[in-house]
A and B are shown apart, each in its own frame.
Chain A
Amino acid sequence: MNSLTVYLFVALLIFCIGMFGLLQRRSLIGMIISIELMLNAAAINFMAFNRFLAPDPSVGQIMVLFIMGIAAAEAAIALSLILALFRKLRSINIEHARDLKG
């Protein structure tokens, strides 16, 4: 087992944990944390490939920087949505937000 595979397995594990959390959690905060996990798993993948396979190491790093940027933006938007929903429903449990008509 070489070290690339180790990284990939770690990333897979984190991704699966994120996916599981996204599917299982009913709280919006928990779901956002899970999404962050999944994004980071993808970032680990990029970095691992970058480190072991890529001829030009800067490409993967750029992608990871993008991912971090997107994650930050996503977190900001998601949190503002959650706040809006909380003001409306007094809850952040998505089972209470099933009906389209509010």
Chain B
Amino acid sequence: MNPAAPSDFVLWLTLAVMWLPFISFLVIFFITRTRLALSLAVSVSCASISLLAAWYLLLGLPATHPPVEFKLLWMAGAEARISYGFLLDPLSRLMLCIVASISFLVQVYSLGYMAGDEGMAKYYSFLSLFAWSMISLVVAPGLLQLYVFWELVGLSSYLLIGFWHHKFSASEAGKKAFVMTRLGDLGFFLGIIVLLLHLGDLSILKLNAQAAAQLSAGLVTASAVLIFMGVVGKSAQFPLLTWLPDAMEGPTPVSALLHSATMVAAGVYLVSRLFPFYAASPDALAVVLAIGTITMLLSSTMAMVARDIKQVWAFSTVSQLGFMLMGLGAGSYFAGVFHLTTHASFKALLFLCSGVFIHHFGSNDMYEIAKNGGRRLKVPMITITIAGAALAGVFPAAGFFSKESIMGALAELPNPGWLAAGLAGAAMTAYYTFRLLFIVWFPRKIETPQHQENGHGDHAAHSSFGYWAMGVPLIILAGFALVLGFFGDWLLNFIHWGRPPEFFHHVWLAPVSLLLVGCGIGLAWLEFGRRKAAQAGFLSRLPRVEALFANRWYMDAFYRRMVDYVVYGFFSRLFTLNDRRVVDGGVDGVCRATVGGGWLLSFLQSGLLQYNLFTMVLIIALVGLYFLVMH
């Protein structure tokens, strides 16, 4: 379908969605940073206008509207033209809406969560920057623009993860996120260069439509896999997955934003953006599928033993991203995008709910929260249960439908192993989700009064405005997590321009997967829920395995080793040598030469002017002699 030029109205609307957050960033960062109320007003109003415009672009245009492309020439070379602009097709309209909604809700929620933090204005400027980079990434019409904002997303998440930079672990986590994603981006950049050299055009529409015809199969696979390396870094997939669990060092609303709509979603979004391009190469799809499956299984096992409430959700994000990539890798565009959409709603909700607990009790440990009476907080308890049900894939909630569509796509594959892995992952997801929910719902020890005192004291310190600022986004998101699943068919029509490919619903699949989810929940109930349960998982009887899971399959240890060997052992040593010998040696050498030269020259300064005069006379005599001889 050929792209159309935007009408004036759509043009201005899209520019508003794209640029308002950036304007808000500039205004807050450079002008109103010292005036908190004004900064908050600027940020939230920009976010809400952006939100309204994004919803209009999603629903106001007809579903079968042809893609709208707007391009300004940015760089032109002899063979390559690179433009800046936007591309509105169903996928980017959908994602635009998700990003704008989640970032608006997160901004509202942060009004309560961050109240009293001295860096709050700066925090809002970073949130705006984050929203701007993600939105520009989503609507990018070409790969280079996408890459630029891809890096900006990385930068702003670095700023926000390390927002409490006086905490050592937070600044370390920010650095880790930045460096690990950069590793993957290297591959992405190489992929872009390969495409630019061979196609001379980085336009996404052209890439999707023509790349397969113009490039050799090997080249398509190579560039697709290279680009996928960037996805692996950004979406925290298998070899590079350990940065995401550490990224929870940032404020909890940031985690919600990062895990649902912006940072990690960018990776999956890129694969769906280039889906026809990936689909042209079965090998590349197989890589996507394999990496997704490995990640999904690994991180599910990690989530089963984590005690930290945010860490459980972080691992579950990694595994859900794995699910999305499995769906895409299995060849179903719709399944991946659908799960991305529903996941955004319930994962943001999970983090925001956990944020309420963390804010209230000052602890990340789920047992601690349970002991202090977490279940007395009715709104977050109910909404976290809804979100947990959605994550686990319990029937009426959103996750059930999207996970079903992924399972359906996996069932289409000739090898039943993929489906088995997916079902196992779904069971594990149900187990770890309900493990957490049961622990918080059914605490073993009744809370002690002084804790209660503490909790209330904390509570009184926050205004009822803060309470509702945090409560309302939860309720809205819970609504989405409940109903989004029923919009599957609408979405299927929407992203395929009203001409959906045949999508197989396997009748036997839903009961089977529900049964497995039930098994997972049942196991969690036996171990954590019922009255006599010891609240210790079956894994605690296998200490070796538990240690393996709790230490993230020793991936961090492995990276630490690698860093020690390669960076500290080789590069650092080289650079130290360079520093000592060349730089320090050079400075010392200049110093010594100066001192020595001074020592030598000091012999000329005897304090007797007669020597100086004698030298002068001698020289003049010699000059005179020279002229005498020459002429």
Residues in chain A within 8 A of chain B (CB atoms): 19, 22-23, 94-95, 98-100
CB of B630 closer than 8 Å to a CB of A:
no
- Segment at the A interface, from B39-47, B569-577, B602-610: B602-610
| Cβ–Cβ contact A95 & B608, under 8 A | yes
- Is the beta-carbon distance between A99 and B607 smaller than 8 angstroms? yes
- A98–B608 contact, CB under 8 A? yes
Complex CA gap A23/B610 in Å reads 5
Cβ–Cβ < 8 Å partners of A100 in chain B = 607
CB-nearest residue of chain A to B614: A23
Residue of B nearest to A25 (CB): B610
Chain A residues, Cβ within 8 Å of B617? 19, 23
The B interface, classified by DSSP as helix, strand, loop or mixed, is: helix
Residues of B near any A CB (own CB < 8 A): 606-610, 613-614, 617
B613 touches A98 (CB 8 A): no
Closest CB-CB distance, A17 to chain B, in whole Å? 13
Shortest 6 CB-CB contacts between residues of A and residues of B: A98-B607, A23-B614, A23-B610, A19-B617, A23-B613, A98-B608
- Shortest CB–CB separation between residue A101 and chain B, in angstroms? 11
Nearest neighbor of B606 in chain A, beta-carbon distance: A98
Q: Which residues of A contact B608 (CB under 8 A)?
A: 94-95, 98
Report the separation of the CA atoms of residues A64 and B594 in the bound assembly, to the nearest whole angstrom: 49
Report the separation of the CA atoms of residues A94 and B612 in the bound assembly, to the nearest whole angstrom.
Answer: 14
Q: Is the CB of A22 within 8 A of B607?
A: no
Using Cβ atoms and an 8 Å threshold, which residues of chain A touch B614?
23
Which residues of chain B have C-beta atoms less than 8 A from A95's C-beta? 608
Q: Which residue of A lies closest to B610 (CB)?
A: A23
What's the least CB distance linking A14 to chain B, in Å? 16
Q: List 16 A-B contacts (CB under 8 A).
A: A19-B617, A22-B610, A22-B613, A23-B610, A23-B613, A23-B614, A23-B617, A94-B608, A94-B609, A94-B610, A95-B608, A98-B606, A98-B607, A98-B608, A99-B607, A100-B607
Bound CA–CA A94/B613 (angstroms): 14
CA distance A100 to B610 in the complex (A): 16
Q: How far is the CA of A78 from the CA of B507 in the complex (A)?
A: 122
| Cα distance, A99 to B617, chains bound together (Å) | 24
Q: A19 contacts which chain B residues (CB < 8 A)?
A: 617
A23 to B614, CA, bound (A): 6
In the assembled complex, which residues on chain B have CB atoms less than 8 Å from the CB atom of A99?
Answer: 607
Residue of A at shortest CB range from B621?
A19
User: In the complex, given contacts A22-B610, A23-B613, A98-B606, what are 8 additional A-B residue pairs having Cβ atoms less than 8 angstroms apart?
Assistant: A19-B617, A22-B613, A23-B610, A23-B617, A94-B609, A94-B610, A95-B608, A98-B607
Residue of B nearest to A100 (CB): B607
Contacts of A98 in B (CB 8 A): 606-608
A19 to chain B: closest residue by CB: B617
User: Closest residue to B611 on the A side, CB-wise?
Assistant: A23
Q: Which residues in A have their C-beta under 8 angstroms from that of B609?
A: 94
Instruction: Give the docked Cα–Cα distance between A95 and B609 (Å).
Output: 10
Q: A20 to nearest B CB, angstroms? A: 10
Point out the residues of chain B lying under 8 angstroms from A94, CB to CB.
Answer: 608-610
B606 neighbours in A (Cβ, 8 Å): 98
A98, B608: Cα distance in complex, Å: 6
User: Closest residue to A24 on the B side, CB-wise?
Assistant: B610
Nearest chain B CB to A99 CB, angstrom units: 7
- Chain A residues near B610: list those with CB within 8 A: 22-23, 94
What is the bound-complex CA distance between A99 and B610, given in angstroms? 15
Residue of B nearest to A98 (CB): B607
CA distance A95 to B610 in the complex (A): 10
Q: Tell me the complex Cα distance, A8–B617, Å.
A: 19
Please report the C-alpha to C-alpha distance between residue A23 and residue B613 in the assembled complex, in whole angstroms: 7
Per the bound structure, the CA–CA distance linking A19 and B606 in Å amounts to 20
Chain A positions within 8 Å of B613 at CB level: 22-23
Of the candidates B608, B610, B613, B617, the one having the most CB atoms from chain A within 10 angstroms of its own CB is: B610
- Give Cα A26–Cα B519 distance, bound, in whole angstroms: 113
B623 to A: closest C-beta gap in Å = 16
Quick one: closest A residue to B617, CB to CB? A19
In the complex, A100 Cα to B609 Cα: how many Å? 12
* Shortest Cβ distance from residue B345 to the other chain A in the assembled complex, whole angstroms: 85
Considering only CB atoms, which chain A residue lies closest to B607 in the complex?
A98
Q: Report Cα–Cα, A94/B614, bound state, in Å.
A: 16
CA distance A99 to B607 in the complex (A): 7
CB distance from B346 to the nearest CB of A (A): 85
Minimum distance in angstroms from A35 CB to a CB of chain B = 11
Within the complex, the shortest CB–CB distance from A38 to chain B, in Å, comes to 11
